[in-house]
A and B are shown apart, each in its own frame.
Chain A
């Protein structure tokens, strides 16, 4: 009986240790990817609080399934796609719920103080043009505009070849230039 108790205690301890390792690894990923997830959500929602809510939701979901993720190196790509999808869902539901936003058009709310680097009017036009892009082009455009993200990084995040990313970026910039002309 003591053997059974010892084996049980050993299993509980090893499971606890594995959980601690997993928790530490997730913590490192969280520190590495939190701003990325927030900005992906912000590029869709353009409201800080909403973007934080969505990114937080994405991290909670990611934590729930983190142990099932076989290739942990793909965590960022997994998180980016999940955050983008959640942000799009949130925006769609907000648009459906809010008649005010339907009347105001695709730009969500007034320009925030964050837009000071670019004039409010230019920012509004740019966001409107980006909102009009197809989803695939939109995600690539936003990711490529993020600080430090190169084509190869974007390709890894999106899970597509670099040639595909270049092609999508070219199409997106052409469409944006036409819309903003």
Chain B
């Protein structure tokens, strides 16, 4: 085997006899797929996040574009008006409105707060959705310095620079409705303090 040609021939024969197994290429594919999988998963997840965010943003933008700028939602019927009247107490403090507004999911219930160990009960208030959204936006704007209370609520200081007293909150009572005619088909519902009658 000292002849270089023989050496070359033997080496060619040895290498030609060495073939990979049939599973070799399949193993390469599997290894590449296993390595590419996390990257692909990240891409798919990112696409879903981007798509969902875009879709939700489009819906929110559409809702705000369609919604009229102001307008109180009137009760649809006299019965609803009566229930709303019975739900609003004679004196409503702004704090109560805020409490009811920021917790829309439970706005039909009385809320119990613990302040300094003493429990206080907030009054239940029914707030139209547009006012609730406006109040939430105002509070968020104040928190992020995008809104100013004086410009929102009007003049706060007089000409001498003294703080003006806040304007009293005036709640105009709804006109009394005539009692319904006695009809046996109408069922009388007792209104209690728990608010269960409004459900």
Q: Spell out A's residues near B (CB within 8 Å).
A: 1-2, 4-5, 8, 12, 30-31, 34-35, 38-39, 42-43, 48, 51-52, 55-57, 59-60, 63-64, 114-118, 122-123, 125-127, 130, 141-142, 144-147, 173-174, 176-177, 180-181
Contact = CB atoms under 8 A, between A and B. Distances in A.
Nearest to A173: B4
B15 A34 contact: no
B20 to A, nearest CB: 4
Interface residues of B, number: 33
Interface string B50-65: 1100100110010000
A43 B17 CA distance: 11
A2 B58 contact: yes
A176 to B, nearest CB: 5
Interface of B: 1-4, 7-8, 10-21, 24-25, 27-28, 31-32, 35-36, 47, 50-51, 54, 57-58, 61
Contacts, number: 110
A173 B35 contact: no
Nearest to B34: A60
Contacts of B3: 177
Nearest to B35: A60
Contact of B15 (A30, A39, A48): A39
Given A145-B8, A176-B4, A176-B7, A8 B50 contact: yes
Given A42-B18, A116-B17, A145 B11 contact: yes
A142 B12 CA distance: 8
B21 A118 contact: no
Contact of A114 (B1, B14, B36): B14
Contacts of A31: 25
Contacts of A59: 28, 31-32
A7 B59 CA distance: 19
